[in-house]
């Protein structure tokens, strides 16, 4: 009889633990899903891995927004957005060597945003690795676009060795021009 009561009690405790929201939440779905995009531009592969935060009605970019103007932020969630480039490219007309990097942004109110490409490739979203790790900094004017609930990074234009990659969240997108000039020896 005692063992039957013990088994019944153990079963009740197990059922309670399994049905408790806190117990399953630890193993639940993440708030920000992971995303990956890869694109061949001529003979160069670009691959971006990032977290996709969700707007959820919040003010995203503003002096007192989720991403305050003038502060450095990595476009994504959790681990910093990671990009690998298989061959040397030109980004916004500036040379960028093949390799692995993390992406960072400094959004501004009525001014261009600064895109920072950091050689610190695999880092968490805070703190920013520092200017001494910057491989490239370029200012780019954002464009107002239709609302994107979850942050998205995509290639909206790819033509021969030219491409435009967009970082798009809320009503703002940052259009990044890329030129991939590499040509295999047999095509030179």
Angle at 74 between CA 24 and CA 78, to 5 degrees: 15
Domains of the chain, by residue range, sit at 1-30, 31-187
CA 133 to CA 119: how far, in whole Å?
A: 5
In tens, the pLDDT along 94-146 reads: 999 999 999 999 999 999 999 999 999 988 777 889 999 999 999 999 999 99
The tokens of 39 are what? 């694109």
C-alpha count within 13 angstroms, C-beta hemisphere, residue 78? 12
Beta bridge partners of 144: 172
Q: With a cut of 60, say whether residue 86 has pLDDT above it.
A: yes
Determine what percent of the chain is predicted with pLDDT higher than 70: 86
3-class SS of residue 120? coil
Q: Which two tokens stand for residue 70?
A: 């003038």
The number of beta carbons lying within 10 Å of the beta carbon of residue 142 is 20
Share of the chain above pLDDT 90, in %: 73
Torsion angle, CA of 141/147/148/150, rounded to 10 degrees?
110
Alpha helices in the chain (DSSP H): 2-19, 21-25
What band does 186 get if pLDDT is binned at 50, 70 and 90?
confident
Which pLDDT band, with edges at 50, 70 and 90, does 188 fall under? confident
Please state whether beta strands 134-140 and 162-179 pair in parallel, antiparallel, or not at all (unpaired). unpaired
Residue whose C-alpha is closest to residue 37's, from 149, 159, 156, 138: 156
On average, the pLDDT of the chain sits at 88
Of 29 and 10, the one with more pLDDT:
29
Kindly report whether the global pTM for this prediction surpasses the value 0.75: yes
Mean pLDDT of 6-10: 49
- Residue 162: both structure tokens together: 């030219």
């Amino acid at each position: 009889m005692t063992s039957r009561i013990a088994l019944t009690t153990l079963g009740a405790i197990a059922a309670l633990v399994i049905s408790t929201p806190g117990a399953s939440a630890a193993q639940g779905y993440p708030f920000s899903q992971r995303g990956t995009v890869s694109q061949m531009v001529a003979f160069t592969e670009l691959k971006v891995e990032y977290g996709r935060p969700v707007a959820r009605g919040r003010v995203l970019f503003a002096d007192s927004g989720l991403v305050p103007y003038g502060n450095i932020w990595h476009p994504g969630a959790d681990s910093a957005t990671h990009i690998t480039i298989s061959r040397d490219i030109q980004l916004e007309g500036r040379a960028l060597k093949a390799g692995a990097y993390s992406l960072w942004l400094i959004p501004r109110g009525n001014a261009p945003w600064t895109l920072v490409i950091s050689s610190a490739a695999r880092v968490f979203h805070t703190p920013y690795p520092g200017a001494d790790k910057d491989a490239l900094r370029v200012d780019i004017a954002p464009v107002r676009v239709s609302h994107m609930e979850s942050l998205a990074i995509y290639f909206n234009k790819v033509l021969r060795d030219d491409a435009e990659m967009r970082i798009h969240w809320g009503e703002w997108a940052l259009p990044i021009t890329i030129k991939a000039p590499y040509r295999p020896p047999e095509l030179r």
